[in-house]
Amino acid sequence: MAVEIERKFLVKNHDYRHMAVGSTRIMQGYLSTEIRATIRVRLCGDNAYLTVKGANIGSVRDEWEYEIPVDDAMRMLERCAAGAVIDKERYRVPHEGHMWEVDEFHGHYEGLVVAEVELSDENEEVAIPDFVGKEVTGNTRYYNSVMASADNLRVVDGRLV
Amino acid sequence: MAVEIERKFLVKNHDYRHMAVGSTRIMQGYLSTEIRATIRVRLCGDNAYLTVKGANIGSVRDEWEYEIPVDDAMRMLERCAAGAVIDKERYRVPHEGHMWEVDEFHGHYEGLVVAEVELSDENEEVAIPDFVGKEVTGNTRYYNSVMASADNLRVVDGRLV
């Protein structure tokens, strides 16, 4: 079990693309978005994962991730996912000792780009890259689980409204 | 992915105990009981499992089970399970070519005993042992997921009311 601490931001430009060391296409859906447990199925390149996330306590939450067969994940996404399947390209962007993950969304959320950084404790200092804009940590609208289940969210000027 | 086909019955007496080839204490809780996906965490003797079950179509449903570390399961049951944790002793009872599973419930459901048999297809014939009583296949009240989340079910004369 890992305790996940992360900060999330909007981005100001596409400079992360030439700073990136790689990118992966991700498709994910949610089997549950209950408060006590979010259950995510993710296809990530040639791998698939089932992830259980507990309730948020500030920016900290329990997280357990298990690798599962790709065929299982595909059938779960098709049969069992509640709401929409999220489709995004994830860039890995190293910057001053931290690995940032920048998600470019496709489909319904085309035009939204979100940068995340994972921290080892809540008070850890992190250098913010120039492409990073407004912080949205804790704004539930930007949870992928909410984006998958909401029917009234759309992208305007790079933000969710 | 396995497709699960099973029939479920009440029992008339305790004869299954001396017919059993073994028994295991099971504790389980549910991270989600949504219609499209039920997510179960189960501690079963010294092993633990995370199980995803799809929607029922008659007596057939998708089922995927993954072994997970016992410590993960214990923390999930403590932190993430919705409703009550189900506590039962499961007896394995061979009878004329089928392995029956007989669950004796403890705690809130003390006094309830349910027998299940898994079939390889919906039309497979199965010999019913003498200890087996009324069939309750498809009665949602006897789903462990419903028993875990219901707050108005109790056991009267060996049945759920």
Catalytic residues of A: 30
**Residue A159: C-alpha distances to residues A48, A105, A114, A128 (Å):** 29, 12, 9, 19
**Single pTM value for the model:** 0.76
Q: How far apart are CA B116 and CA A39, in angstroms?
A: 28
Q: Which residue's structure tokens are 């407004």?
A: A134
pLDDT at A123: 83
Mean pLDDT, rounded, of chain A: 91
Q: Could you confirm whether B91 is annotated as catalytic?
A: no
* Banded pLDDT at B80 (limits 50, 70, 90): confident
Please report the pLDDT score of residue A2 as a whole number: 66
Distance from the Cα of B84 to chain A's closest Cα (Å) equals 13
Domain boundaries, chain A: 2-160
Interface of B with A in 79-118 (CB under 8 A): 79-82
Instruction: With a cut of 70, say whether residue A77 has pLDDT above it.
Output: yes
* B38-53 residue pLDDT tens: 899 999 989 999 999 9
| Confidence (pLDDT) at B121 | 83
Confidence bin at A36 (pLDDT 50/70/90): confident
Q: Quick one: CATH architecture of B2-160?
A: Beta Barrel (2.40)
> DSSP H helical segments within B27-115, as ranges?
70-79
A31:B50 CB<8 A: no
Confidence (pLDDT) at B56? 74
Q: Where do runs of H (alpha helix) occur along chain A?
A: 16-19, 70-79, 144-149
Q: What share of chain A is helix, strand, coil (3-state, %, to 5)?
A: 15, 50, 30
Q: What is the pLDDT of residue A63?
A: 92
- Choose the closest CB to B39 out of A39, A62, A81: A39
The band of A22, judged by pLDDT with boundaries at 50, 70 and 90, is very high
Is there a contact between A36 and B76 if contact means CB atoms under 8 Å apart?
A: no
Mean pLDDT, range B4-14, rounded to an integer: 92
Share of chain A above pLDDT 90, in %: 69
**ipTM associated with this complex:** 0.72
pLDDT of residue B81: 86
Dihedral sign computed on CA atoms, order B144, B145, B151, B152: negative
**Is A60 touching B (CB cutoff 8 A)?**
no
Tokens standing for A70?
């790709």
According to the model, what pLDDT value does residue B59 have? 63
pLDDT higher at A68 or B144: A68
Residue B60 token pair: 């057939």
